[in-house]
A and B are shown apart, each in its own frame.
Chain A
Amino acid sequence: MDSMAAIRQTFFQECEEQLAELETGLLSIESGDSDHDTVNAVFRAVHSIKGGAGAFGLDELVRFAHTFETALDLVRSGRIEADAALVRLMLRSSDTLADLVRVSRDGGAMDDQRVAHLHDELTRIADPDAATAAPAVSAPEASVDQTANAGEAGDDDGFVPLQVSFDGLLGGDADAEPVAADSIFRIWFRPKPELYAKANDAAKILREICSLGEADIACDVSAVPVLAELDPEGAYLSWTIRLVTGLGEDAVREVFEFVEFDCEFTVEQEMPADPVFDFEPEPVAAVLDQAASLAEGEAEAPAIPQKVMDRIAEVAVKDAAPAKPAAGGQSAQAQASQTIRVDLDRVDRLIDLVGELVINQSMLTQRVTEAGIARLSEVAVGLDDLEQLTREIQDSVMAIRAQPVRPIFQRMSRVVREVAEMTGKSVRLVTEGEACEVDKTVIERLADPLTHMIRNAIDHGLETPEERVETGKPEQGSVRLTAAHRSGRVVIEVADDGAGINRQRVLEKAVANGLVDPNAQLSDGEIDDLIFHPGFSTAGSVSDVSGRGVGMDVVKSSIQALGGRISIASQPGAGSTFTMSLPLTLAVLDGMVVNVAGQTLVVPLTAIVETLQPKEADVHGLGETSRVVSMRGAFLPLIDVGHELGYREAETDPLDGVAIMVETENRAQSVLLVDSIVGQQQVVIKSLEANYGHVFGVAAATILGDGQVAVIVDVDAVVAGRRAEPDLANRKRTAA
C-alpha cells in the first residue's frame, strides 16, 4: 500500500503540473497566441488528470474532467470556435478542476452548486440541445456512467470509466460468471495473416482456451501448400477444439477479443440433452478428424509451425532492409529537457554539507594565514583555488533549489479573475520576468503575501469601471506583476494603475487609530508607509475580498521573515507600486562581522547603509536614557548593541566605538553602536531557533572561519525593541 500512497502523491504532483500547463495554454489561447499544439496540450492536461483520477477512484474529479475534456475535444477538432466567452468558461473550469484536485487531495468540501453549474455549461457546449437534460444538478451520487453518457453526444471518444473487458478471462477467475454445470463448446478457429502481423499468435489463443477447462485440440493442416508456394507470412492452419468448461460462452468468446477481426471463428455450445450419448461420439470424431488431417498434411508438405515461419520471415526482412532509424529520434532526444526528480531533503542535506565545506575552507585559510605562510606560497595559492571552487560549488548547489517564479505568477492570474469577478471590476494581469529564479522556499512563502497584495491592488487600488471612464482611463484596469534580478537579489513588483493611495484618508485613519499625532507633519512617503503599520486597514469596512484583519503589516512581516524588504511608491491618480526585494537564497548571507563586548556578531549587509566614527559634537542626549546621533542634518536614534542584547549593563561611550547606520524594513534609519568592525564576510546561516530557541535580537547563528559561533543580529528587532516595544523599554529602564 505504501507504493500506492507514493503514486497517489505523484498523481497530485502531476496534477499541479498539468493544471499549470492547462492554465498557461488557456491564457495563450485567450491572448490569441496559440496554435494546434497548444490546444492539444490543454486537452492532454485534462485527459491525463482524468486518467490518473480514474485510477484512484476519484469519481467526482473524473466526471468533471470528462465533461471538460469533451468540450475541449470539440475545440481541438475545430468543431467549435474558441471565442472569448468560451475561453473564459474554460478558465473558470480549470479553476474548478484545480479545486476538485485539491479537495480530492486534502479533503474538504466543494461548492457543489458551482461545479454543477459549470458542468451544465460545458455540457451545453458539447451538445446545445442537451441543455438542462444533463444531470447537471448532479447529486454527488449520480452514477459516473450516466454523466459520461450525457457528455458523449457528438463525441467520438466516449469514455466509460471503470469498464474492464477482461472479466472471466481465465478459468477460475473469482469474478467470472459461474455456470451451474460444465458445458461443452465446439470451437473452430482459423487465423488470418493479419492476426500474426499484429503479433498475436494462434498458439497463445489455444493456450488461453486450454486454461478455461479441458480441451481437445485438433489442427487442420490441409491448407498448407507445398514449400515452394508457401508464403512465409501467410496463415494456413486452422483448429477445432472441444472444450469442457465450467464457464459460460461469453468467457470463451472473450478469448478471441483481441483477434475477432483477424480470424474466423465459431463457438457453439453442445446441448447436453443426454450427456451419456452426447459425450462419446464427439471425441471419436475429433480424433478421426485430426488423424485424417495430419495424414493429409504430411503427404503434402511438412507443416512448419507458424512461429518458425515468422522467425524466418523476420530474419529475411531484416537482412533485406536494415531497420530505419527512428524518425527524428536523435534530435528529439537532444531537445527533451533532461531532468531528474530528487527528494528535497537530499538537496537540503547537500546544501548543508556545502555550507560546512565553506566554513571549513575559510577556517583553513585563516589557519594558514595565522601560521605565517607567505601569500605567494604554493599552499596559499592552492587555497585560493580551493576557495574559488568552493564558491562555485556553493553557487551550483544553491541553483538546484532555485526555481522560476512562473508557477506562482500563474496562480495570481486566478486570484485576479476571482477578485475581479467579486468586485465587478475589469482587470488585466500583466506578468513579466516569470523565468526569474529564486529559492524554492522563498517562492513558496511568497504565495500568501503576493495573493494579498494582488487582492489589495484590485480591491483598494483600482477604481470601478465607471470611475475609470470618468477620469479618462481605460475601463479595464491593469495590474503588473514583475520579477527581475537586481544586484544579487530578486525584486518583485506589484503595480496597479488605479487611484493611488488616498493619503488624506490614510492619515485620518492613522490619527483616529492613535498611530499618529494629529499635529504631526508627515511626508508623503511616511504616510504611505503607515499602511504597513499593524492593524491598519484603509477600507472603510473590512471587505470580503481583502481579507479579515490581515493587513499589509502581515505582508510586510512575511517578507521580512524571508530576509526581504517591501516598500511602496504611490502617485495620486496614477496608481501604486509595491516593491519587494528578496534574497535569492536563504542559506547564505553577506554580513559585516563586528565585535561587541568581546562577542563576535554578524550584521546583515543588506541592512547597513554606512559606517562612521561618531564625533563628540554629533552625539546628543535625549531624555533620560536615549541618545541620538546627528548625521547629515538628521537626528537618528543611537542604539548600543551590547547594552541592548544584554552583554553589558552600562552603555559605552559612542566615541570609543564604531557607528553603523542601518535601515530597517520600514526604511527608518537608526545607528547601531558596536565596539569594532572585524570585516565583511559571507556566512552560512544556521537556524538558532531549530537548534536552540528564539533569542531576542538574534536572527540566526553562523560559524566563522576560526570555528567560533557568531550570532546574526536581527536588526529590526534590535531597533524595534528600542523604539516600538514600550514594554521592553520599560522593563529595561526599571532594570537599569
Chain B
Amino acid sequence: MKRQFSTGLLAILLLCTSCVRPNKTNPSRLDLIQKRGELKCGVSGKIPGFSFLNSDGQYQGIDVDICKAMAAAILGDGKKVIYRPLTAPERFTALKTGEVDLLSRNTTFNLSRDAIGGNGVTFGPVIFHDGQGLMVKKRSGIEKIDELINSNICVGSGTTTEQNLNDTFQELNIPYTPIKYQDLNQVIAGYLQGRCKAMTSDISQLAASRSSFPNPDGHIILKKVISKEPLAPASIDGDPLLSDAVRWIIYALIAAEEFGISQNNIDQKLIEAKSNPNFVSIRRFLGIDGDLGNKLGIANDFVVKIIRSTGNYGEIYNRHLGPTSRVPIPRGLNKSYKDGGLLIAPPLK
C-alpha cells in the first residue's frame, strides 16, 4: 500500500516537473490561421444588423463583415471563415482557450477587459460607438428614467449592461429590481410578456430586437443614454502579430472610406493609381508601392482584397444598418471624422 502510494507520488512529481515549462517559441495565431486556411470567428448570431443568420442560413451583419475582412486580408478569401456563435459569458473563455481566433461579437471595450488582471484580451479599434439605453412600451407613458422607480427591469447577465444599469440607478438613487436572463432572447421574452416595465441593452441591440417585434411602433427607446459602449473586436493577449493585423485591417476599412475607395470603384482606382506615379499615398495604401502589408505579415495588397470582399466601412455600415436595411440606425458618432463623426484612421504609412 505504502509502496504503491510512493510510486504514484513519484509519477506525478516527474510528470509535473518535466512539463510545466511553457512553450517558449509561441507561434503567432496569425501563422496558425494561415496554416489552417480558415479563420475562426466568434460572433453572437442573435443580433440583426450585427450578426444574424439570414434566410439562406448565412451569417450576416457588421460584426460578420469584420470577420470577412480579416479572412480576406489574411487568407485572400473573405469566405474562409468558420463562425462560432457565443453567449456573453462564454466569449472571453472561448477567445483565451483558442477556440476562436477573433472575437467579433458586439463587445464593449473597457479597462477591465483589456487589462491583464481582468479579462486580459487585446482590443482592436472601435467599429461601432454605441450607448446603453432603456426601452419601454409606448402605452406605459414612461418618458424619463426616474419614472421607472421601483420597477422591474429585464437585463442580460454577464454583460457590462448589468453593471451600468446598477451604477446609473444607484447614482440617481432610484430603487429597482433587475430580472436577469442569460440570453438576449430571454430578455426580450421577459419584457414582451410583461415581467418588466423596461428592458435595457445597447441601443443598437434595442433597435435590432425591436425590428423583429410584432409591433415595433409600440415601443420607444428612452432618450437618456446611460453609458458609452464602444464596441470593438478582440484577440488574445500577448500576440502582437495578430493584434496588429486586426488593428490595421480595421483602420484600412475606415481609411478606404476617407479615400473614397469602394467595392464598386476599386478596380478603376487600382488602374488609375498604377498608371499615375503621383498618387503616392493611394499607391502605398493599395500595396502598389512600399511594403505595408508585408510589415504586418500579410499580403502586401491586403487593402485591395478587403475592399473587394466587403467594401469600405461606410459600405459595410449601410449594408447592415443603413436607412434601407432591416435595422436602420442613424450613423451619428459612427460617421467619418470628415463628416463630423468619431471614426478616424491613423495614417497607413
Q: Do A and B associate with each other?
A: no
Give the interface of A toward B (CB within 8 A).
none
